[in-house]
Structure 1
């Protein structure tokens, strides 16, 4: 875009701290203001940051100094806040998912196209050295033709640590829409877009008990499935098995295992930016696994690198953590839930370009050229 992005944050909950930790090291990002429905939370963030103003949401949207809104609201509010920001002529980068459902997400993309502004969306963890090193191994032919992947995320539930876990158990939440974006985005980055899915889903409990904070002991109703599993059919022909659960205890499986004709890769947790990539080749199968050195991705990345990548991407080019990719990932997840409800294979109507690879790069202090 040619200039640093002047950013205003809407939503000052727990995730905001991770972005605030990253921004001082990014020359392409200039945080101007923050807003929250709770003015005290916005004031606390502003007081902890240099030259950052606490505003109301309306004031932030009307502020001519802010050209980009970082939307860190709860999933149910993502589409509404994004639409308001676009109406104010601002670019939008949001936390995942892009919206609670595809109809609203598609509306956001249409508004942005008509307004000539950009839409970006987390997760940007796939831009770090972990997933990108695995992608380079695939692109370099180290595993031969990709055959399949298995992606596993199990946890007993976020109510054990989160003081206000309600939104994890209403539409827009659940293990698939909460954690699935990390895994599905990683699978699309590694293997390309998805054409159809088949899934099953269940939930064990009608209520969850908050385990920490001032509401500890209170009950939260559950209105979404909390264990979802299925198969994603990629355009390339590869098949990915996905397991997302808030009902299980733990797993010893690799977060993502990627199988090819010539080798298998273990891929690190896509909830993080780095991590070890290991390979076991057909020729060296008896010798076990070898670690691959970090060979691609943004070094030392943190939350907000997708926004920085958007700032550094010239006009007319597609930034990596883009809205169309986020829409496709949401469409895949929504299709998986629909397949589980209908008991049949469901085609995925959307597609997305596999984002361009990230060479081994440091963005620290890198300003917009």
Structure 2
């Protein structure tokens, strides 16, 4: 690999703007090439970044200056693009989820292992000062022995702001698969991998009405559940209760709370890189705000990719493929539990990711 890691982006949609801003601020990464089914969209990115080439996907994965492929395609295309990059001998970093299904994701990880390349995957929000400061507090024993956690995401539905929200309301969508990766990745980072799950789910109505854009007023069908509740049993014995919903208005509770035998921890929004971490100790009189003590300061989307490029080739990065696979497995298992009405063991596991020192 060159002194600066050469990055080739596949998929130049809305999320790419956040990654592009981050790439420009990180010395170890250099944007080399871009590709998109909409060539005009790729050309617009290249025009804004002198020296960047517009290539087809086969050309991009074969380009000698590309060290890692940043896969920002839609979830249904994640596995296909990843396999092309792997075949080209490139490391791959994907937006979440790792693939549309665990079956597809297993094939991606297997192919990468055989080819000797690494897989990284969002979300990397867990590498910021919010989640990492909370992790440091847990590792330092601030709550004693962690016993339980809650993770809550309650919104009225993305049709209120998204002009084309159809994919949120079909199988493969829904609140769990959309937002669950942020919350479950954080829970695994804080409490370790999950052994089994028990879940239930529902949907509040058969249609949704688009509230913005050229399709405003159009009703779209809902064919997947829009409220998912579950209990995750971690290997450690801790129990996490998770609620992901497109059927609520708002919630006043902390996004994540962790409770131990000597204290409780309020953890900030896992969809953000920073935020206040608050501790209430047994016998205390009020919540105290903790000073950031771990994690990447001023992080943004793409720090997981930078962390991956800093990690020795012989090691998995913190935002790793095995972690993303385990999170996807937890979500699939939770939906299977909701469908069958039974507790479901989670077949995979992963190491708890390494902590991030304050930097």
In the superposition, the TM-score normalised over structure 2's length comes to 0.97
Q: Name the CA distance, whole Å, in 2 between partners of 1:250 and 1:315.
A: 43
Look up the match of 1:201. Answer: 201
Residue 232 of structure 1 contacts residue 239 of structure 1 at CA under 8 Å; is this kept in 2?
A: yes
Q: Name the CA distance, whole Å, in 2 between partners of 1:296 and 1:115.
A: 34
Residue 135 of structure 2 contacts residue 190 of structure 2 at CA under 8 Å; is this kept in 1?
A: yes
In the TM superposition, what whole-angstrom CA distance separates every residue of 1:141-190 from its partner, at most 9, and x where no partner exists? Answer: 01000010000001111122222222222333211111000000000000
1:147 aligns with 2:147: yes
Look up the match of 1:271. Answer: 271
Look up the match of 1:67. Answer: 67
Q: Name the CA distance, whole Å, in 2 between partners of 1:22 and 1:314.
A: 21
Q: Name the CA distance, whole Å, in 2 between partners of 1:223 and 1:307.
A: 34
Residue 100 of structure 1 contacts residue 171 of structure 1 at CA under 8 Å; is this kept in 2?
A: no
Look up the match of 2:130. Answer: 130
Residue 8 of structure 1 contacts residue 32 of structure 1 at CA under 8 Å; is this kept in 2?
A: yes
50-59 or 317-326, which deviates more = 50-59
1:360 aligns with 2:358: yes
Q: Name the CA distance, whole Å, in 2 between partners of 1:310 and 1:222.
A: 38
Q: Name the CA distance, whole Å, in 2 between partners of 1:32 and 1:106.
A: 29
10-19 or 170-179, which deviates more = 170-179
Residue 132 of structure 1 contacts residue 297 of structure 1 at CA under 8 Å; is this kept in 2?
A: yes
Look up the match of 1:311. Answer: 309
1:177 aligns with 2:177: yes
Residue 10 of structure 2 contacts residue 36 of structure 2 at CA under 8 Å; is this kept in 1?
A: yes
64-73 or 294-303, which deviates more = 64-73
Q: Name the CA distance, whole Å, in 1 between partners of 2:340 and 2:348.
A: 19
1:324 aligns with 2:328: no
Q: Name the CA distance, whole Å, in 1 between partners of 2:266 and 2:217.
A: 39
User: What is the total number of aligned residue pairs between the two structures?
Assistant: 359
State the 1:13 CA deviation: 1.3
Look up the match of 1:298. Answer: 296
Q: Secondary structure of the equivalent of 1:7? A: strand
In the TM superposition, what whole-angstrom CA distance separates every residue of 1:105-140 from its partner, at most 9, and x where no partner exists? Answer: 000000000011110000000000000000000000
Residue 118 of structure 2 contacts residue 316 of structure 2 at CA under 8 Å; is this kept in 1?
A: no
Look up the match of 2:54. Answer: 54
Look up the match of 1:29. Answer: 29
Look up the match of 2:162. Answer: 162
288-297 or 26-35, which deviates more = 26-35
Q: Name the Cα RMSD after superposition.
A: 1.3
Q: How does 1:99-118 map to 2 (within 5 A)?
A: 99-118=99-118
31-40 or 256-265, which deviates more = 31-40
Q: Secondary structure of the equivalent of 1:120? A: strand
Residue 75 of structure 1 contacts residue 172 of structure 1 at CA under 8 Å; is this kept in 2?
A: no
Q: Name the CA distance, whole Å, in 1 between partners of 2:207 and 2:62.
A: 41
State the 1:215 CA deviation: 3.0
In the superposition, the TM-score normalised over structure 1's length comes to 0.94
Q: Name the CA distance, whole Å, in 1 between partners of 2:273 and 2:163.
A: 25
Q: Name the CA distance, whole Å, in 2 between partners of 1:301 and 1:40.
A: 30
> Aligned pair in 2 of structure 1 residues 135, 225: CA closer, same or farther (>3 Å)?
same
Residue 58 of structure 2 contacts residue 84 of structure 2 at CA under 8 Å; is this kept in 1?
A: no
> Aligned pair in 2 of structure 1 residues 7, 233: CA closer, same or farther (>3 Å)?
same
Q: Name the CA distance, whole Å, in 2 between partners of 1:105 and 1:23.
A: 26
Residue 89 of structure 1 contacts residue 117 of structure 1 at CA under 8 Å; is this kept in 2?
A: yes
Q: Name the CA distance, whole Å, in 2 between partners of 1:74 and 1:154.
A: 24
In the TM superposition, what whole-angstrom CA distance separates every residue of 1:8-58 from its partner, at most 9, and x where no partner exists? Answer: 111111111111111111112111111111112112222222322222333
Q: Name the CA distance, whole Å, in 1 between partners of 2:52 and 2:215.
A: 31
In the TM superposition, what whole-angstrom CA distance separates every residue of 1:276-300 from its partner, at most 9, and x where no partner exists? Answer: 000000021xx21000000000010
75-84 or 251-260, which deviates more = 75-84
* Unmatched segments (≥5 aa) in structure 2: none
State the 1:2 CA deviation: 6.9
* Unmatched segments (≥5 aa) in structure 1: 362-369
2:348 to 336, 347, 350: 350
315-324 or 41-50, which deviates more = 41-50
